[in-house]
């Protein structure tokens, strides 16, 4: 293993698998001491994050709006009486942001809407001689969107979550986002995004308390059917704890990008893409897999050269030290084998002919083909939602899409003769399961 600065190069595959490619369960998360010390300040005792989240959820279920105001004071250091952002503030925010940013958000919203309008989503009924079978596809009644608003407020996340819900025809969409310090104002870019998307109800509440409010309802915030959107550890744990009482898009953890590159990849561009990922937070993962050691070394050098120019350099260096690195493989086939094991949120193919390899991809939240389809475009303006499965859940989960906002109801309408013909096999299976009342109900139909 070679290291320059904090970004390592692994030439031993087994070592890489036990290090940067290793997946840890959220249930096995070892809370940093700083988080536990923070709990002492808020709760007056040492609590693990999951225990703190449980206590917050219980308090919101019991105390409603007043509990939310209390958590706003304790956690976000804001003292606001009215949780709902007034309508006029949304339009004022849209007018206050720079015109070029407003135009960029409009462009993003249009592309996100156009992309999701292409997704097939319809009911179907197959009517035959023996009756009709089918599926009814209906939107959920309501959706709650969580939008991070801390050190890096994310208006793009509002667009990426709310617009697919609108395309799916969800009738009620609300947003919860943390209040700002001091006066409690939400970041104007987030309010502007809400105005552009046509979302009317934005609430000034964040963290686990916001998830609890949307899951169970308060005097001001309605209970929703599904909660979507990424957040910090406490938001993720809260979504995990309320799941079952409400639907969720997934337990979305720290973001991650995995690049597969060949010898002809541009080291400068690869380094820029990895640094953009590391910029999110110290737990973000920025990984390169390549059969070319010379490329990995060139990327390593480029990262060190580019890093000092960025405002979040300290965060980026810590991310690269903890979660970043390069893995040297025998060939590209082995690179794809490792990528499928890792199941990255973002899989970027910096290859001469990326389409040749697309058939090798089994597990990924999103695939970015070629150096012109860089992941930052996916974050903002490409079109697909940037809410994608993390932590290896791309093995079984999908990016946020219309199916997250609908439910499917099976339709069964058999004719009498068909029902009689199916009675005998139904009786046989029922008796095999020792369910004699089931068998009797089927037998009565056959004897009529």
Residues acting as catalytic residues: 345-346
Look-up of token digits 């979305």: 252
Tokens read off for 270: 């690869």
- In whole angstroms, what is the distance from residue 98 CA to residue 123 CA? 43
User: What beta strand segments (E) does 309-383 contain?
Assistant: 325-328, 346-350, 366-369
Cβ–Cβ < 8 Å for 288, 327: yes
> Which residues are within 8 A (CB) of 321 and not within 5 positions of it... i.e. 6 or more apart?
6, 7
| Number of helical H runs and strand E runs in the chain | 17, 15
Helix spans in 76-141 (H): 87-96, 99-116
- In whole angstroms, what is the distance from residue 381 CA to residue 366 CA? 14
Cβ–Cβ < 8 Å for 144, 164: no
- In whole angstroms, what is the distance from residue 129 CA to residue 125 CA? 13
Helix axes 155-167, 99-116, angle to 10 degrees: 30
Tokens read off for 139: 């939107």
Residues linked to residue 175 through DSSP beta bridges, in sequence order: 145, 202
Q: What's the alpha-carbon Rg for the chain, to the nearest Å?
A: 25
């Amino acid at each position: 293993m070679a290291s320059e600065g904090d970004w390592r190069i692994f030439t031993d595959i087994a070592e890489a698998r036990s290090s940067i490619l290793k997946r840890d369960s959220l249930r096995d998360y070892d809370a940093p001491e700083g988080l536990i010390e923070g709990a002492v300040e808020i709760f007056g005792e040492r609590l693990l994050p999951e225990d703190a989240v449980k206590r917050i959820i219980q308090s919101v279920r019991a105390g409603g709006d007043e509990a939310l105001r209390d958590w706003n004071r304790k956690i976000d250091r804001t003292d606001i009486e009215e949780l709902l952002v007034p309508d006029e503030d949304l339009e004022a925010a849209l007018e206050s942001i720079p015109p070029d940013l407003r135009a960029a958000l409009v462009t993003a919203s249009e592309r996100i809407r156009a992309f999701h309008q292409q997704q097939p989503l319809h009911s179907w009924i197959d009517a035959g001689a023996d009756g009709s079978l089918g599926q009814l596809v209906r939107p959920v009644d309501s959706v709650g969107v969580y939008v991070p608003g801390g050190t890096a407020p994310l208006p793009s996340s509002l667009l990426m979550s709310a617009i697919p819900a609108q395309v799916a025809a969800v009738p009620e969409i609300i947003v919860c986002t943390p209040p700002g310090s001091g006066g409690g104002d939400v970041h104007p870019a987030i309010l502007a995004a809400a105005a552009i998307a046509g979302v009317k109800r934005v609430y000034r509440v964040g963290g686990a308390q916001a998830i609890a409010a949307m899951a169970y309802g308060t005097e001001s915030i309605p209970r929703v059917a599904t909660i979507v959107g990424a957040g910090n550890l406490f938001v993720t744990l809260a979504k995990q704890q309320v799941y079952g009482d409400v639907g969720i898009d997934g337990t979305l953890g720290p973001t991650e990008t995995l690049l597969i590159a060949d010898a002809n990849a541009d080291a400068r561009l690869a380094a820029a893409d990895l640094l953009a990922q590391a910029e999110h937070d110290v737990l973000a993962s920025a990984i390169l897999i390549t059969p070319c050691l010379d490329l990995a070394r060139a990327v390593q050098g480029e990262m060190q050269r580019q890093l000092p120019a960025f405002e979040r350099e300290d965060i980026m260096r810590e991310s690269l030290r903890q979660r970043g690195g390069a893995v040297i493989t025998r060939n590209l086939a082995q690179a794809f084998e490792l990528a499928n094991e890792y199941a990255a949120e973002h899989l970027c193919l910096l290859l001469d002919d990326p389409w040749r390899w697309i058939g090798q991809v089994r597990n990924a939240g999103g695939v970015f083909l070629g150096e012109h389809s860089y992941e930052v475009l996916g974050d903002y303006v490409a079109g697909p939602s940037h809410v994608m499965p993390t932590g290896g859940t791309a093995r079984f989960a999908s990016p946020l899409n219309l199916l997250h906002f609908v439910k499917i109801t099976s339709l069964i309408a058999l004719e009498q003769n068909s029902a009689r013909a199916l009675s005998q096999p139904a009786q046989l299976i029922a008796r095999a399961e020792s369910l004699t009342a089931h068998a009797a109900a089927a037998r009565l139909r056959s004897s009529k």
